[in-house]
Amino acid sequence: MPLRRGLLDPGVAELGALAARAGLAPADPLRQPLAEARDAAERYHAFLNGPALPAEVREVEAVGPAGSLRLRLIRPVDGGAGGGDAPLPVLIYFHGGGFAVNSIDTHDRLLRLLARHGGVAVCAVGYSLAPERRYPHQRGEALAALRWVVRHGADHGLDPERIAVGGDSAGANLALGLALDARSEAGPPLSFGMLLYGMFAHDFDTESHRLFGGGDYGLTTGRMRWYWRQYLGRDAMTRDPGAAPLLADLRGLPPLHVAAAGLDCLRDDSLRLARRLEEANVPHRLVLHDALPHSFAGMTRHVRAAEDAVIQAADAVRLHLRR
């Protein structure tokens, strides 16, 4: 597949120029101390998010594997798919950021869009960042979030019988991992999964890394290597299916919406996952957004194609969670 320089959505380039004029750029932890990169990520995404979209927001806490775990419940202001005061289905969501940067706040607009168009309450998980906490700590926090929704969600107007998981990039890794863990978890089965340009395997010998890993479209192979080191540590096994869920036994998963960015060094993670899902007879839909780069779900205020892609994913959630 040739490098498709001319097919980048023009709105993405316009957004980059707009951010540069505002003196902002995406975080780069290879060139910035980690604390500085995290601050830069918060400022950059605050610019991307813009004014907050209408939603009902509530902060709660769950018990995680090593103390308190922050959760944010975001409900659509129109009542969502449940109608009126009926309990809402739930999308448990994990933000991206290579396990090392970003937060619930950086993904605020995306979370509100998913609640609005998915007709769900989004339960955003403020999981611990690496390297302060490493795998498998975040997998334990993901399971703690699911258990909180099952045990306490009804007290907050949530329907514990209709739960989906979702995430982008590293968050998609956690979402897929939670779907795998939930197969043996007591309680209602997960209904659906939504995975956006996921980080599913510690593997850089792919066509998409060769084509897009140099940085023309943002994310680089070098940065991905750094993210994996933060998450796993230098001596960790990179073929552990718990950390790299592409390598896991995928049988018995719920239906999945898998969205890949066409101009992304992680594109082939999603394409390979779709092939493995096919082999495991897991119902799924693979959507390749050819003209978009990694992290497009954060560009919805400025890039129409990115907003359309997010709405398409939210529609899939709505379809599978409605009664």
Question: What positions carry a catalytic annotation?
Answer: 169, 264, 294
Query: ∠ at Cα 193 (148, 145), nearest 5°?
Result: 15
Name the residue among 130, 199, 135 with its Cα closest to residue 168: 199
Peptide bond into 136 cis (omega under 30): yes
* Residue 98 contacts residue 169 (beta carbons within 8 Å): yes
* Residue 309 contacts residue 109 (beta carbons within 8 Å): no
Q: In what order do the strands lie in the sheet with 121-126?
A: 56-64, 67-75, 121-126, 88-94, 158-168, 192-196, 256-263, 284-293
* Residue 109 contacts residue 167 (beta carbons within 8 Å): no
Q: Measured in whole angstroms, how far is the alpha carbon of residue 242 from the centre of its chain?
A: 17
Strands (E) across the chain are located at 56-64, 67-75, 88-94, 121-126, 158-168, 192-196, 256-263, 284-293
Name the residue among 148, 262, 160 with its Cα closest to residue 207: 262
Whole-number Å distance between alpha carbons of 323 and 314: 16
Whole-number Å distance between alpha carbons of 268 and 259: 11
Whole-number Å distance between alpha carbons of 150 and 190: 11
